[in-house]
Amino acid sequence: MKKWRCLVCDYVYDEALGWPDEGIAPGTKWADVPAGWSCPDCGASKGDFELVED
Amino acid sequence: MTIASLPTPTAWTDNKRYLWPLGALVMFLPLAGTIGYQLTGWTISLWLGFFILYGLIPMADRLLGEDDANPPDAAMESLAKDSYYRWALFISVPVYLGMWAYMVWFAVSQTLPWYGWLGVVLSLGVGCGLAINIGHELGHQTSPLERFLAKLTLAPGFYGHFYVEHNRGHHTRVATPEDPASSRFGESFYEFLPRCVYGSFKSAWEIEKKRLTREGKSVWHWSNDNLQSWAMTALLWGAMIAWLGWIALPVLIIAAVYGGSLLEVVNYLEHYGLMRQKRADGGYERCQPHHSWNSNHVVTNVLLYHLQRHSDHHANPTRSYQTLRNFEDVPRLPSGYAAMILLAYLPPLWFRLMDPKVVEHHGGDMRKANIKPAIREQVIARYAQPA
Ligand SMILES: [Zn+2]
């Protein structure tokens, strides 16, 4: 499971947790998150995220 | 060129391509004013930067009008990757820094009447204001070079906190009452300015404090982006004072304060009265295209690197300036930002022009608008449609 960080506001999408509020089940891979989904905090597009390396 | 001879799927060309270096060129104008003064002896020439901002640009916007052309989807990737645009932006940084140092020197070293000195300082301030916009564009990019240049560009005008606050503060709280940088219906520019500046400094400090605490560091750790930016300001200002003496300090301060006020008057235009609605769980809906005021006026769009395509900027913040698109059906200002600034300085005129637009945008239901708290209930009652 990977994490993706919003380059604008630092919100982190954690694949393990998903975003159940909006029907994105825990375990949903970043690639499977709908293209039109945007950062819940700042509204930035999916393209504004980068993979968190750790 | 081999590119031209290849049949490409998109024959689209960017009609603003060769205009973008104007953003750097315009930084020469305060300097040109001082040369004009030395050639003619006319003090008014020292106000060149000032007159261009408030006179020439709004007039040119009126004459040249709007350009709503968008790059087609197929051209977006190559447009984003074309390093010409990156360099067209970069070049403005050394031009600005050189102009800044020259103008400070000029103000201090020449024997000028006070109204000539003020012209030099305010024309320099126009440059500082434009530079914050350049720092804004650079600060949204992701490479370390661009992020460093962003801080460097904000440093002469002492606006480094903007680098932190804008991305992680404004972009998350935009068009909510909690955002210091989103103006409210019924709030004049003169009420907005102190609230915004104070709130933004405070927010920038808290954002970095929170991040550093999370990383187990002190807020005074060197990696604090605010401290890094302010250190650059201290270094640049210190160098100017060491060179020219304390007499340079008023020049540095007045130009910075005025330049900052220019950035904030643009902030004032961008989201006036617009508000994201609260969801059932208490959070705000996402920022959407109808939460920003836009303009397609071509002259201001070139000089501000498409800042006025503001809805797309909030939807795709790391998208670089040349690829920002015009959206249909978004709140639209009657003129470019440069002319709107003049209105913002005159609150009765601003309210007369803009308030009906905000009311219309919300279909008369002002419960949906971001309103100055003291007049919120009155405003809602005043525009409510009879049931
Ligand atoms: Zn975000």
Query: B180: CA distance to ligand 1 center in Å?
Result: 18
Confidence at B1, pLDDT banded by 50, 70, 90: very low
The two tokens of residue B385 are: 């449609």
The answer to whether B17 and B87 have CB atoms below 8 angstroms apart is no
Contact A41 B315 (CB under 8 A): no
Contact B317 A44 (CB under 8 A): yes
Query: What is the per-residue pLDDT for B280?
Result: 84
Least confident of B155-164, B185-194, B265-274, B279-288: B279-288
Compute the mean pLDDT over every residue in chain B, rounded to the nearest whole number: 92
Contact A47 B318 (CB under 8 A): yes
The answer to whether B66 and B297 have CB atoms below 8 angstroms apart is yes
Neighbours of B18 (CB within 10 A): 10
B51 contacts: CB under 8 Å, gap ≥ 6: none
Give residue-wise pLDDT tens across range B303-346: 999 999 999 999 888 889 999 999 888 999 999 999 999 999 99
3-state secondary structure of B156: coil
Percentage of chain B modeled with pLDDT above 90: 82
CB-defined contacts A:B, below 8 A: 49
Q: Quick one: DSSP state of residue A12?
A: E
Confidence at B9, pLDDT banded by 50, 70, 90: low
DSSP line for B229-261: HHHHHHHHHHHHHHHH-GGGHHHHHHHHHHHHH
Say whether residue A38 is in contact with chain B using an 8 A CB cutoff.
yes
The chain B residue lying nearest A47, using CA atoms, is: B316
Minimal Cβ distance to A44: which of B281, B288, B316: B316
Query: A6: CA distance to ligand 1 center in Å?
Result: 5
* A50, containing H or E segment: strand A49-51
pLDDT at B3 over 70: no
Query: What is the per-residue pLDDT for B67?
Result: 87
Query: What is the per-residue pLDDT for B2?
Result: 45
Maximum C-alpha span of chain A:
27
Query: What is the per-residue pLDDT for B102?
Result: 97
Confidence at B12, pLDDT banded by 50, 70, 90: confident
Query: What is the per-residue pLDDT for B381?
Result: 92
Compute the mean pLDDT over every residue in chain A, rounded to the nearest whole number: 90
The two tokens of residue B38 are: 């030395």
Please give the distance of CA B276 from its chain centroid, rounded to a whole number: 22
DSSP line for B157-210: TT-THHHHHIIIIIHHHTTSTT-TTS--BT--HHHHHHHHHHHHHHHHHHHHHH
Contact A8 B142 (CB under 8 A): no
Give how far A12 is from chain B: nearest CA, Å: 13
* B315, containing H or E segment: helix B310-315
Give residue-wise pLDDT tens across range B14-73: 889 999 999 999 999 999 999 999 999 999 999 998 899 999 999 999 999 888 889 888
d(CA B167, CA B171): 5
Contact A8 B167 (CB under 8 A): yes
Q: Which residues on chain A are in Cβ contact (under 8 Å) with B281?
A: 21
Contact A43 B211 (CB under 8 A): no
d(CA B259, CA B160): 13
Query: What is the per-residue pLDDT for A47?
Result: 87
Work out the average pLDDT over B360-366.
Answer: 92
